[in-house]
Copies of this chain bind each other. A is one copy, B any other.
Amino acid sequence: MKINSKIRYGLRTMIEIASTSDVNGILQKDIAKNQSISLKYLDSIILSLKLKGLITNSKGKGSGYKLSRAAEEITILDIYTAFEQITFVDCICNKKFCDRSEDCPGRDYWIEMKKGFENMLLKKTLAQIIDKKSIIAKNHINK
């Protein structure tokens, strides 16, 4: 079980966008260059992030990408699900996938595990990943 390349590149792309200091945002070609991702492949990554509403841009010459909201308000679950739903096993979404679904201790467990996994991704924000110091600050406030 591997995290696929779109999700990996997607996270790196979000980190890149969140990290830029340019008020006009960052160009796709610069993300591609900085992150060593082909411009064409990055196309589809960025499209997914846009459709999920995580980033915005204008079109045409001179445009640049920015986050749609603060990095503190973007979770890894947001980024992950821009590319795929978390399923783990098909019978979670579709009971008819397996005729044991009605009474299956295995299925019950996978459902529980899926929730735990989602929760883990939900608890982490893009801001926390970019700046370790912000975690310390947050913890301090929470106390």
Q: Which residues of A does B touch, CB under 8 Å?
A: 1-4, 8, 11-12, 15, 36, 76, 84, 86-90, 100, 104-106, 108-110, 113, 116-117, 120-121, 124, 129-130
Q: Given A15-B105, A117-B120, are A110 and B3 also a contact pair (CB < 8 Å)?
A: yes
In the complex formed, the residue of B with least CB distance to A35 is B100
Asked if residues B120 and A12 are in contact (CB atoms below 8 Å), the reply is: no
Q: Chain B's nearest CB lies how many Å from the CB of A57?
A: 22
In the complex formed, the residue of B with least CB distance to A124 is B109
* Interfacial chain B residues near A88, Cβ < 8 Å: 1-3
In the complex formed, the residue of B with least CB distance to A120 is B116
Cα A120 to Cα B112 with chains together (Å) = 10
Shortest 6 CB-CB contacts between residues of A and residues of B? A116-B120, A11-B106, A3-B88, A109-B129, A12-B106, A105-B129
